[in-house]
């Protein structure tokens, strides 16, 4: 289905019983709402109403041209707008990768709209920034951001039949299947799509210490993997200091960065645990 939020139109999948407890699912880079395909059936079976949409830059009808239009307030506003369009006053939110960053922001800045948070792969943004400043491991783990924000990067990744983009999916010993990669490639090879997705990085949000998102006051679960090269131990451990509500850390030893695709049942179970009020 398509959901209009102001001048933007988002492609979305909504499933589960209409009267089910709503769960908003936010995807990461370079993926799409399809990253939740193996998670959603478990949520549906639990009686939840799942809402997954292609976020700003990923939906063809929501690709603003200016980099500054991809800042966190805009991305969070889109998520709230989707909930408004569906008549949902309050929802549980789960996000992976960049979707987790948006979810952390929503939970910190809009706790009146968020019942609980399940963040996958990416820690609290303020903890990540602290680690980047103080931890050589995190600085080394963040070097890929310079690669992605280099001038002409979108064009380079889409040259030679988009082989550069396809190679990106094999970062961190990816477990993604060929079918999953093809599905994401179909989104990012649309005109302007990869350039728009990279604007999320170009805003400088990841390292902007002048704009802390603040403490999270809703029940929160953080799922991460030690084998994920993008996040250091310090960033993961420090996340707890930014949550004042019940908090649960789920540490995976062997899973890759692509947790919703690799361990969908575990991710779903943790979301369900939060929606049912589990500690």
Question: For the chain, what are the domain ranges?
Answer: 2-208+215-275
Element (H, E) at 117: strand 114-120
Identify the pLDDT of residue 173.
53
Query: Per-block average pLDDT, block size 10, for the chain (279 residues)?
Result: 97 96 97 97 98 98 96 98 98 98 98 98 97 93 88 80 79 76 92 94 93 96 93 95 97 92 97 88
Q: Which two tokens stand for residue 83?
A: 């909930």
SS3 content of the chain, % helix, strand, coil (to 5): 45, 20, 35
CA 11 to chain centre: 16
What residues have CB less than 8 Å from 182, skipping those under 6 apart? none
CB 3 within 8 A of CB 12: yes
User: Which strands sit side by side in the sheet containing 2-5, from one edge to the other?
Assistant: 2-5, 8-15, 48-53, 21-26, 91-96, 114-120, 220-225, 247-252
Question: What is residue 167's predicted lDDT score, i.e. its pLDDT?
Answer: 80
Measured CA to CA, the distance from residue 241 to residue 230 in angstroms comes to 20
Superfamily (CATH) of domain 2-208+215-275? Alpha/Beta hydrolase fold, catalytic domain (3.40.50.1820)
């Amino acid at each position: 289905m398509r959901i209009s939020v102001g001048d933007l139109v988002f492609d979305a999948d909504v499933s589960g019983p209409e009267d089910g407890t709503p769960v908003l699912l936010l995807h990461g880079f370079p993926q799409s709402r399809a990253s939740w395909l193996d998670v959603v059936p478990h949520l549906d079976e639990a009686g939840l109403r799942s809402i997954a949409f292609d976020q700003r830059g990923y939906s063809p009808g929501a690709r603003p041209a200016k980099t500054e239009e991809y800042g966190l307030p805009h991305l969070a506003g889109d998520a709230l707008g989707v909930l408004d369009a569906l008549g949902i006053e309050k929802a549980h939110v789960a996000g992976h990768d960049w979707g987790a960053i948006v979810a952390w922001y929503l939970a910190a800045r809009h706790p009146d709209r968020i019942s609980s948070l399940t963040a996958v792969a990416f820690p609290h943004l303020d903890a990540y920034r602290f680690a980047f400043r103080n931890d050589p491991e995190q600085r080394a783990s963040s070097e890929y951001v310079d690669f992605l924000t280099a001038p002409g990067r979108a064009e380079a990744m889409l040259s030679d039949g988009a082989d550069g983009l396809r190679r990106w999916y094999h970062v961190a010993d990816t477990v993604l299947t060929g079918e999953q990669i093809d599905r994401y490639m179909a989104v990012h090879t649309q005109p302007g799509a990869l350039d728009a997705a990279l604007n999320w990085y170009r805003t400088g949000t990841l390292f902007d210490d002048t704009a802390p998102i603040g403490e999270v006051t809703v029940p929160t679960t953080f799922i991460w993997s030690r084998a994920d090269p993008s996040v250091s131990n310090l960033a993961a451990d420090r996340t707890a200091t930014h949550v004042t509500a019940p908090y649960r850390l789920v540490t995976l030893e062997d899973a890759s960065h692509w947790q919703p695709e690799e361990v969908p049942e575990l991710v779903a179970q943790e979301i369900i645990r939060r929606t049912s009020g589990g500690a």
